[in-house]
Structure 1
Amino acid sequence: MASPAPFSRYEFLIAWRYLRARRAEGGVSVMTWISLIGITLGVMALITTLAVRAGFRSDFVDTILGANAHSTVYYAPTQIYNELTEETYVTPGRVEDYEAVAANIAQIPGVTRAVPAVRAQVMARQGDAAALGDVYGVTAESLKAMSGIVDSERSAGDIDAFDQGIAIGIGMARDLGIGLGDRLQLVAPDGARTPFGTTPRVESFEVVFIFSAGRYDVDQTRIYMPLAEAQSFFNREGVADEIGVFVDNPERIDDWTLPLLQVAGERSQVWTWRDASGSFLAALDMEDDVMFLILSILVLIASMNITSGLIMLVKNKGRDIGILRTMGLTEGAVLRVFFLCGAFTGVIGTIAGVVLGVVLSLNVDHIMAALNALTGGGAWQPEVRGIYQLTADLRAWDIFRAAVLSLGLSFIVTIFPARRAARMNPVEALRYE
């Protein structure tokens, strides 16, 4: 007579029968529930953490790409030696023929647009209030192409009137008490040149657009000014400070560095969005790995309870094991029965953890809103985190590796007590029965 195939139906029935609670075996039942709850909570925490970390990184990158050029081409400063005074002067790098340079860069395959820009810092004043501002002098077409600036639901004003005024961040507008149609006074340190030296330049500009880029630091400091106006205000007549480059695949921005240097010519340099935020993104990646490791340890600790429960179950079922062995059950069959006892706990806990983790991740914004309401807005501080809200990016890969980790640990820790049950001598098990 042929032996039954491994993991036959009767093995599942015996394993499931052993997992059913009895009053006399309350300790085994308690350990099973502790293992089940522990694995569920561990998997739920792992999936939620991975989703929140992925959502934070995605939002952070989106705010960078939505309000900034993907790459910037600029020129290094030059040194000029004056033979009469025997002094060396350093002149800042400027893009003189910026329209031609931008047109040549735009011809590079994969580059969607190249726009000249003037950059400077000013002091913005409104009454007694003042703030430091980063001015970006750009064309109206360039500003309209920045989705993170013009497409925000929190933005207000008429972007088509940009040539008649300036655009400022919502944070700066709030701090200075500025509204649409008000005039903002800008003070540039390198202003008008007179026979007595350079004096600060002070002018007032009408605020025609108030934007929200989704990042606290950008909304607090950034000011957009028409390119021609910025050239005149900052003594950049006929030149630009840099060329902003936008590509069709920002995640592979490094692929365009060499072509940009070749087209831009001598003394050109390239600064990508990864260069600007690379250290922060690298820190996020490292934190993701550390969090995954820490939460994996928590899942392992929860899985170890399966071992404790199975050891107690094997001890309580010694008589049953002896009877089953005398009836012809092989060591392999006994091993599989107790392996299934632990596997059931791991599988049920993993499924429950995945379901709860997905539900929690999909509702993390509502949970954070409730926490903010309870703490008076202290649960999430945009001035510290940089972005205004916490979102979750639920990815199939994160769910898969969390489930595989939980199942793998549950199956591994089950092997030792299952082997112990399989190697039990039926004579010794029945001697005192």
Structure 2
Amino acid sequence: MMSPSSNFLGLTPIFVFVALVVGSSAITQDFTTMPILVAFTLSTAYAFMLNSPNRQFSFAEKIEVFCKGGGDKTIILLGMIFLLAGAFYAVTIDIGARDATVNWALHYIPTAWLLPGLFVITCFIAFAMGTSMGTITAITPIGIGLAESLGLPISLVVGIVVGGAMFGDNLSFISDTTIAATQTQGVKLRDKFKANIYIVLPAALVTIILLMTVSLGGTIDITQNNYDLTLILPYIVIIVSALCGLHVISVLGVGIASACVIGLVKGIFTFPSMLKSIQTGMGWMQDMVAIALMIGGLVALMQAYGGLAWLIQSIQKRVKSAKGAEAGSAMLVSFLDVATANNTIAIVTAGPIAKNFSQSFEVDPKRTASILDIFSCGFQGLVPYGGQLLAAASLAGVSPFALTPYCWYPMLILLLGGISIFTGIPRFASSANNN
């Protein structure tokens, strides 16, 4: 297939989606007025009315492009994670694991440190796991229980979990975004880590300070009889499995199995009720799977129509200096992430162009790799239709748009990333390009 010509109209389906959700919310003052799946369905219908300027796709060909995009391995994996996350959430709630874990935390952790502690623990787990999705599915249920116990908005606490998860996604040595950023720029993992740490560590510290200022509500009256340590085991199992390097699918599978065994052994479940609990949890996430398929197909259509090509060319022609090269790389990967709702895809797509910017204007490749990762992860932690916020919102039973204002850490790394580009700090003694 020939490469699509640059075509602004090819990018407009994502603008239609945002207009539908934000417009209806502004009119009704309610973010739940326009369901996300309905908005994507209408945006996809609009996309089917468009076409490429250098090739006229028939309706059947558009369907084929859409289905191939929806069937991409990344999208299918995302759907599987959604379903297993729902099952894990439902089973752990039904056996009392979530409440036991929250009560244990309330009993032993000083109240003022509950929210900062949740953020730090999430950061650590995400850094060790190298996946924000796995971290969110494991920790969000605990965050929800904590919010309910403390009388805090669920969106606030779940936003904390998302922020911590994006810390690990950005900084972990085994994160796919880290690998993509370093490989496309030809730098070592440790060099990108050093470049990132100057930006993300201050952002994490500021987040912790902000969380310590949050006023906690509710009445906390916990005694040792309020929790059963054996019920906490599914969360311990899932964290240990992740730290051992198991794939996120395996991690969730082991977590579900452990919760089911505990429920059966303690007589909380019968075998039929256990199966029903798993099915109920998967049912909670069915809309999220459909949304993931819709996003994959819509992005494929935008690419076929030349929308992504237009975006890339528009930024390329505005780069005129070293600072402009850094800003151009940041803008490119940011817009691609907003358009595709996938930070890894955004980095892989923007990487070769960003490397060309670096070579043309003598930008240190370590800084370029750092910029690609920071800005893609920052926006991925804010985009309401990205997998991370969709999963967290579905588990919490809130609109993903309600989470974005509380994702403070992603906002801070974008702010500090912008300051880094403007000031040129951190600088490095050598810009050698080492693999």
TM-score bin, normalised by smaller chain: under 0.3
- Structure with the higher fraction of residues in strand conformation: 1
Computing the radius of gyration over CA atoms, which structure comes out larger, 1 or 2? Answer: 1
- Structure with the higher fraction of residues in helix conformation: 2
